[in-house]
Amino acid sequence: MVKVWAHRGASGDAPENTLAAFRRAAELGADGVEFDVQLSRDGEIVVIHDETVDRTTNGCGQVVDLTWEELSRLDAAVGWDDFAPQPIPSLRQVLEALAATELDLNIELKDSVVPYPGLGDKVSRLIDEFDLGHRVTLSSFNHCSLARLRQSGSMLRTGVLFTDILYQPWAYAPQLWATALHPELHYVDYVLDLVQEAHLSHLEVNVWTVNQPAEIERMAARGVDAIITDHPGRARALLR
Ligand code: G3P
Ligand code: MG
Q: Residue 108's pLDDT is what?
A: 98
For 151-157, the CB contacts below 8 A with 24+ separation are 151/177, 152/121, 154/120, 154/121, 154/124, 156/124, 156/127
Closest CA to ligand 1's atom 7:
49
231 part of the active site: no
Classify domain 3-51+91-239 at the CATH topology level.
Answer: TIM Barrel (3.20.20)
pLDDT at 161 over 90: yes
- What average pLDDT does the segment 211-237 reach? 98
- Going by pLDDT thresholds of 50, 70 and 90, the confidence category of residue 73 is very high
Amino acid, single-letter form, for residue 139: S
- List all residues 6 or more positions away from 151 whose beta carbon is below 8 Å from its beta carbon: 177
Beta bridge partners of 206: 226
- What average pLDDT does the segment 53-62 reach? 98
Is residue 208 in contact with ligand 1, taking CB distance under 6 Å?
yes
Q: Residue 237's pLDDT is what?
A: 98
- Going by pLDDT thresholds of 50, 70 and 90, the confidence category of residue 116 is very high
Closest-lying ligand 1 atom to the alpha carbon of residue 139: 1
7 part of the active site: yes
- What average pLDDT does the segment 31-36 reach? 99
Mutational pocket test of ligand 1: of 34, 106, 107, the residue with most ligand atoms within 8 Å of the beta carbon: 34
Residue 108 CA, ligand 2 centroid: distance in Å: 5
Q: Residue 240's pLDDT is what?
A: 83
Closest-lying ligand 1 atom to the alpha carbon of residue 34: 1
Is residue 104 in contact with ligand 1, taking CB distance under 6 Å?
no
Please tell me the distance from the alpha carbon of residue 57 to that of residue 83, in angstroms, as a whole number: 13
Contact 33, 98 (CB under 8 A): yes
Beta bridge partners of 139: 108, 159
Contact 56, 74 (CB under 8 A): no
pLDDT at 234 over 90: yes
**Nearest C-alpha neighbor of 61 from the set 44, 40, 79:** 40
CA distances from 4 to 38, 70, 88 (A): 24, 34, 24
pLDDT at 185 over 90: yes
Mutational pocket test of ligand 1: of 11, 161, 210, the residue with most ligand atoms within 8 Å of the beta carbon: 161
- What average pLDDT does the segment 104-126 reach? 97
- Mean pLDDT (the chain) is 98
pLDDT at 122 over 90: yes
Amino acid, single-letter form, for residue 72: S
pTM of the model: 0.98
